[in-house]
Chain A
Amino acid sequence: MKGYAGKYLIIDLTRGKTSMGRVDESFALNYIGGYGFGARMLYDMMPKPAEVDPFSPENVLIWWTGPLAGTISSAGNKYAVFAKSPLTGIFGFGISSGLFASEFKSAGWDGVVFTGRSEKPVYLTIDDENIELRSASSIWGRTTWETEEMIKEELGDESFTVASIGPAGERMVRLANITNERNRQVGRCGLGAVMGSKNLKAVAARGTKDVEVFDIEGLVKFIAELNERCQGPATEKYRVYGTPANILVHDKLGCLPSYNFQRGTFEYAEEVSGEMMLKTHVKKIVACAGCPIACDHVNQAREAYAGTVSSVDYESLELLGPNCGIRSLDTITKAVEICDTLGVDTISAGNVVGWAMECFERGILTKDDTDGVELRFGNDEALLEALRRMCLKEGRLGMLLSEGVRRASQIVGKGSERFAVHCKGLEWAAYELRSLQTSTLGFAVSNRGADYLRSGSYQVDVKGQVDRLRLDKSRGKIVYDGENQYAVIDSLIICKFTRGVFKSMGELAKLYTLVTGLSMTGEQILKAGERIHNVARCFNVKCGVTRKDDYPPPRAFEDPLPDDIVKGAVIRREEYEEALDGYYECRGWSRNGVPLKRKLLELGLSKEAEEVGVEA
């Protein structure tokens, strides 16, 4: 079996001991890599997840690459991190890219599992076979960008790639992320805070080994073709304007969340559009290793924030911009820099600040609660100050926001829970609730919580393939298909921006076989995707997730959209129930959202069938 390194590291942080595990063929075939490996392993290593405090040494922190990392596969250098999430209390998972995964695989490892908690701050170096936990006491407290430089300096070799947490992760801010190569993040679910709780500051990897593949000639030929397709129309949006191209598209459709999801358009959309950004702020477009697309638009701010540099994508721009009523690209560039260096997820950060701004404007939060910050929509300085305090847990405001929107709204109460826009505790990303209803269903049933990356179900809405202002039973199938496909993509792991260049699941299977030598068909790999999704759901069921958790926030049902183009749009409860039923039926789950024994057995998940599955 090629592609895989065939082994992974196990690091007991409590004892400082290192051991090794093997990746065998049946594990590979059934779970592919990335998402699949993480789901399987988290389920197995945490038999009673409901009893595990995410910040306790009992939480397990798992890193996996996939079979494609380190090969020349188009946009295939990605790694994923897993743990029980401190933000949602369920299956926590995030993916990042860059060069890190290539170095990691080239060092001869597929993944690393951390257990326990180090007594003192440490970082892990993976240098081929040489594995070492080193003291991080001199870098503790440093930003992610400083940490990368300091570790390379200390190790005396710039070719180490570093994934680290910032001060937010160290302080266990529940929105904390993991950053590698400055601009790439394992953003969601607060996994940086789990690293912080384990006193693990960073992982530095350097590899010198060849990454062996099964059919190198065939692979290079196929990749040449895929890379060529990647210069075509399917990826044009990403190449030219980057993901911020969505700003004007979504504004026209009334699905651009603004003012904490109170509206679906933004009166200053032009000023923060991808088109404007390219003209006035983008200084350089960069690519992750092995990526023929290159979507990463690095901005340079001007005026008050001259000298500030950050990589700005759609989600960051939208939630820190329109969702907080902010119309300045300079401010947004600065806001992203604060989040990236101090180490929090821009999506969750923009969402929770937007919520706090609405609280402030409604008089639910006062200047007393914000330690003097005039936290109004459109107040640039207030946004930046709130972000800083959140990352550092400074003062009452910082402490409150650092909890994430679900907990913060429970602490504040006074009806603020009603407009806390999240699902299962994960802050909603930049897709409007009521004017993209298939999308909303996909977000609400996702294994991570409100998640745009697990099914891509917004696409049928945005492309006009369904009535996006209504729901019906058929939407369940759309979400189901999307989730299974995306589970494959996230397990291989390959960038979703290539999804339009693959003609079929068969082509993904072909790529898998060229790399690994294991025979695989489109049908089989899709089945693996379904299996993987079900394992993660079973983990969540053990955490207490059922139908009651698969709903969008109250705003989706109760506050009709005011914007002209989608005026009055709201989700009708009975339609939502019907769509949810449709989804569970496709999934082979009970009406309560629990996988049926029969389904689990069909997928070869006998342990899950025993422990979680229910009879029809």
Chain B
Amino acid sequence: MESRLRKIIVCDPDKCNGCRICEYICSFVSEGVLNIKKSRIRVVRIEPFLNLAVACRKCEDPPCVKACPRDALTQKPSGIIVVEENKCNGCGWCVETCPFGVIRLHLDKRKIIVCDYCEKHGYPRCVEYCPKEALKYVTLDQAARELSKKAVQTLMQELAVK
């Protein structure tokens, strides 16, 4: 798949309120449990105003893959990072290289976990369950278009007020 067609999870900081429903649902979908610390998507809250959920960005030439000394990580053409558990020894080198902090060690297994975009389901479930539609599953091009639209709307509203 051409990388321009890759869809990723993006989060609107104006809509995200830090409710963590994405984290609960991710732990359920990924592992059949309820435990936000096993979520592949992570909610960041920086007091007092910032909330944002972050998941794997499907980077081009991903640093996590390059960093792994045991070649346990590979990237599929779709952009999804695959972890070969038998190769991973939990050294965490990749954790330190991910600029978004979204590749992590599993709490119990001490092997790497990362968002697989609910591959089996075909669509990331967190996006489906986000109550405020803060999460979207789109190409970066589409995300940019939506941002432009929002900016234009805001500008026009401000002009109208003036």
Contact = CB atoms under 8 A, between A and B. Distances in A.
Interface string B10-33: 000000011111001101100011
A159 interface: yes
Contacts, number: 78
A66 interface: no
Nearest to B131: A292
A260 to B, nearest CB: 31
Interface in A191-238: 207-213, 216, 220, 224, 227, 230-231
B47 interface: yes
A553 interface: no
A220 B25 contact: yes
A283 B47 CA distance: 12
A348 to B, nearest CB: 24
Contacts of B27: 210
Given A227-B129, A231-B131, A290 B24 contact: yes
Interface string A456-498: 0000000000000000000000000000000000000000000
Most A CB within 10 A of own CB, among B32, B36, B38, B129: B36
Contact of B49 (A71, A159, A207, A284): A284
Interface in A55-74: 70-72
A99 interface: yes
Contacts of B21: 72, 227, 290, 292
B107 interface: yes
A213 B37 CA distance: 17
Interface string A95-136: 000010010001000000000000000000000000000000
A288 interface: yes
A286 B47 CA distance: 11
B132 interface: yes
Given A216-B28, A227-B129, A294 B34 contact: no
A151 interface: no
Interface residues of A, number: 36
Nearest to A291: B19
B35 interface: yes
A288 B129 CA distance: 16
B19 A224 contact: no
17 contacts: A99-B20, A102-B36, A182-B47, A208-B35, A210-B27, A210-B33, A213-B34, A216-B34, A227-B131, A283-B48, A284-B17, A284-B49, A287-B17, A290-B19, A290-B24, A294-B19, A294-B132
A208 B107 contact: yes
Interface of A: 70-72, 99, 102, 106, 159, 182, 207-213, 216, 220, 224, 227, 230-231, 283-292, 294, 296, 298, 300, 309
A286 B131 contact: no
A72 B19 contact: no
Interface in B48-67: 48-49, 51
A73 to B, nearest CB: 9
Interface of B: 17-21, 24-25, 27-28, 32-38, 47-49, 51, 107, 129, 131-132
A251 to B, nearest CB: 27
B35 A209 contact: yes
Nearest to B13: A284
B42 to A, nearest CB: 11
Contacts of A294: 17, 19, 131-132
Nearest to A102: B36
B48 A72 contact: no
Contacts of B32: 216
B24 to A, nearest CB: 4
B18 A287 contact: yes
A216 B37 CA distance: 17
Contact of B34 (A182, A208, A210, A300): A210
Given A72-B34, A99-B20, 10 more contacts: A70-B34, A72-B28, A210-B35, A216-B32, A227-B131, A230-B131, A231-B131, A284-B17, A288-B19, A300-B49
Looking at chain A's contact residues, the main secondary structure is loop
Contacts of A286: 17-18, 51
A290 B131 CA distance: 10
Contact of B48 (A102, A182, A208): A182
Contacts of B28: 72, 216, 220
A494 to B, nearest CB: 15
Most A CB within 10 A of own CB, among B28, B49, B131: B131
B48 A284 contact: yes
B19 A211 contact: no
A343 to B, nearest CB: 17
Contacts of A298: 48-49
B24 A72 contact: yes
Contacts of A231: 131
Contacts of B36: 102, 106, 289
A72 B25 contact: yes
Most A CB within 10 A of own CB, among B17, B25, B33, B51: B17
A230 B21 CA distance: 13
Contacts of A287: 17-19
Nearest to B125: A220
A294 B134 CA distance: 13
Nearest to B48: A309
A13 B107 CA distance: 32
A157 to B, nearest CB: 11
A288 B28 CA distance: 19
A371 B28 CA distance: 59
A294 B35 CA distance: 21
Contact of B35 (A211, A284, A292): A211
A439 to B, nearest CB: 30
B28 to A, nearest CB: 6
Nearest to B38: A210
B34 to A, nearest CB: 5
Nearest to B107: A208
B19 A208 contact: no
Nearest to B32: A216
Contacts of B34: 70-72, 210-213, 216
Given A70-B34, A208-B37, A292 B49 contact: no
Contacts of B35: 106, 208-211
Nearest to B49: A284
Contacts of A106: 35-37
A284 B33 CA distance: 31
A220 B107 CA distance: 23
A70 B48 CA distance: 23
Contacts of B37: 106, 159, 207-208
A461 to B, nearest CB: 31
A220 B51 CA distance: 24
A309 B46 CA distance: 14
B20 A290 contact: yes
A289 B48 contact: no
A207 B27 CA distance: 15
6 closest Cβ pairs, A-B complex: A287-B19, A292-B131, A210-B33, A72-B24, A287-B17, A284-B49
